[in-house]
Structure 1
Amino acid sequence: MNTPAISIVMPVFNAGDTIGEAIESCLQQTFPSFELIVVLDGCTDTSGDIVRSFQDSRIQIIVREHSGVTEASMQAIRSARAPLIARMDADDISHPDRLASQEDFLRSHPGFSAVSGQVRLLNPLGDGMQRYVDWVNSLKNADDIARGRFVECPVIQPSIIVRRSALDAVSGYQRCDWAEDHDLFLRMLRRKMLIGKVDDLVLSWRDGSGRLTRRHPSYAQEQVWKMKAHHLALEERVVERGVAICGAGPIGKKLARLLQVKGVQVNGFFEVNPRRVGERISGVDVAGLSEFGSRWRDSTLIGAVGIPGGREMVRKLAVDQGYREGEDFWCCC
């Protein structure tokens, strides 16, 4: 049997309503050299019957007791034969040229570890998910993705193809208290791995109240902030010089406390609200914008202003003062 160029990895838990369309979208790819590994993770519905009905030699089925998406994904990756791993969820639709476009990118860019693409949201519930997808789609290249890593997850997981060697280098998906996909990308980016982007539409991403990102505790907002603090605390410059936080509101305060728990030196806050200037929060001073760019200048600047337009405001202030986003300055919301 010839070794495929791409292994599509699809963990499944009770997705009988959508898995048929998801598998069909994989089998209709214009790129021919792939295998599809479907992990039935303790399914109790019709998912297994639907997968078996395809009777396609490119499909490998793994049945296991339910243990969650991280373990199911890693079992599929361990079984994969290809040097490229494409993630796919059982409720999404890969566009026909997805594999062809992304494989061509990685073949043409040997220094890149992974590649994503443009995503369309299906059935948005109107609660901000479309804004998130629009933001992800606005990240056009590896630099954008790297700089955006602490704002939100800069890659929609089922849109990505990753080199097997890159996954092995960071020990793949890991069980953690927060989103396993964002955690993986943060570990890759801290290792200076490049995640690229094709400008083609590669995925239709189905929204819904039952989606894991909406119902699992690992994706709760509190866990998101713990994850950001955990990974910020591993950044070399943050460890060496501490941080100054732009924004002394609820987000800035929360992030400061979490960073302090991780042993990070929080040197102070910058704040536009004059009523907060001169206060002390978490044991450190709150300074006004008149001192921005001079006080705590050696610290890593953290943007933590959650109001609409806050990120752009902080970014302009920082760039005007010579901060370099992704080096001595990070937007975190």
Structure 2
Amino acid sequence: MPLISIVMPFRNAAATLPEALASVRAQTFTDWELLAVDDHSTDDSAGVVRDFAATDQRVTLLKASSRGVVAASETAGRVAQAEWLARMDADDVSHPQRLERQWEMSQALPHLDVIGSGVEILTPLGEGMSRHVAWVNSLVEPEAIANARFIENPLVHPSALMRKSAIRAAGGYREVPWAEDHDLWLRLLEAGSIFGKVPETLLGWRDSPGRLTRSDPRYGDTFRNKMRAHFLARMPAIRERGVVISGAGPIGKTIAQELQLRGIEVKGFFEVHPRRIGEKIHGAPVAGLDEFGKKWRDAVMLGAAGTPGARDDIRRMAREAGYRDGADFWALC
């Protein structure tokens, strides 16, 4: 029985599969099986994997039960022999020591359930993705990863080594109206799973116009805000105490409305714009920063100001006022 099962869904990836498969074969850690799952390809992707599998008995070609990355991932998860699942996409490239370094961390820190790594962006399309990768790579320690869960996806999915029993206990991958990988991370963190990250760059993560994060509305702001509200509204402290939102711009307004739809009390907003102070937004009053940390002090604070540098400013102010990251303060953007 292998120590690691590599899960690689693919669809119409004949152009990139040879490099991805070669990077798996080049791993210095050799006790693995590769489960390559065909998500109803219409090109020769399955043929590429079939030819590769003919030269390596550790490789198995599977057919997804239905269309989509969730079904493909679940298909592989059902037949995976190992307790640890390594996720990889068919257009990415794992560095030779990826599995070795992640396996070493899993053995040295047995309390971890998910282990990511540093990533490099291949063929970035614009500065936004490069900034995102730099931010993700800055999150290394478990507390930093957990506290950043509502800002963006804090761990690159195809860089992950995951404990199969933890994935199953959290309900596995789900068909949801937002990003399925971020949804899984949020459920794992909600259940108490601990995330870690090997700081070295161990995955080449390819950017392209066809990536789901660029082409599928489930990965956009509208559904990301619904996802944030869904999981925030499940937190006992928020259900019991309500929230106060720092930032009365588009993100703060949207989150307030989504939380109210889920029965959460929005006690108020803090805002720097003088024309908004004294107004009401979705029925909740707006106060100035002179009352920050004093008014609505029993509520959980959400940092929702999207201007550059505002996240760090709000976090600093919240800490100075006695709020605790990951307890009664959450940054959302």
Q: If the TM-score is normalised by the length of the shorter chain, which range does it land in?
A: over 0.9
The TM-score, its normalising length taken from structure 1, stands at 0.98
* 1:154 counterpart = 2:146: no
Report 1:1-333 matches (<5 A). 3-54=1-52, 55=54, 56-64=56-64, 66-333=66-333
**RMSD of aligned alpha carbons:** 0.9
Secondary structure, aligned partner of 1:53: helix
The one-letter code sitting in structure 2 at the alignment partner of 1:265 is E
Bigger shift: residues 240-249 or 60-69? 60-69
Q: Does structure 2 retain, via aligned residues, the 8 Å contact 1:74–1:173?
A: yes
The one-letter code sitting in structure 2 at the alignment partner of 1:229 is A
**Whole-Å separation in 1 of the counterparts to 2:231 and 2:116:** 22
Aligned identity (percent) is 49
Gaps of 5+ in 2: none
Gaps of 5+ in 1: none
Q: Does structure 1 retain, via aligned residues, the 8 Å contact 2:64–2:75?
A: no
After TM superposition, give the deviation of residue 222 of structure 1 in Å: 0.5
The one-letter code sitting in structure 1 at the alignment partner of 2:21 is I
Q: Does structure 1 retain, via aligned residues, the 8 Å contact 2:65–2:71?
A: no
Bigger shift: residues 97-106 or 56-65? 56-65
**Whole-Å separation in 2 of the counterparts to 1:9 and 1:207:** 20
Output one character per residue of 1:238-277: Cα deviation in whole Å (capped at 9) or x when no partner: 1110000000111110110011111111000000111110
After TM superposition, give the deviation of residue 316 of structure 1 in Å: 1.1
After TM superposition, give the deviation of residue 171 of structure 1 in Å: 1.2
Aligned length: 331
**Whole-Å separation in 2 of the counterparts to 1:89 and 1:153:** 16
**Whole-Å separation in 2 of the counterparts to 1:65 and 1:85:** 19
Secondary structure, aligned partner of 2:2: coil
Q: Does structure 1 retain, via aligned residues, the 8 Å contact 2:65–2:75?
A: no
The one-letter code sitting in structure 2 at the alignment partner of 1:67 is R
Q: Does structure 2 retain, via aligned residues, the 8 Å contact 1:43–1:66?
A: no
**Whole-Å separation in 1 of the counterparts to 2:251 and 2:258:** 11
Secondary structure, aligned partner of 1:102: helix
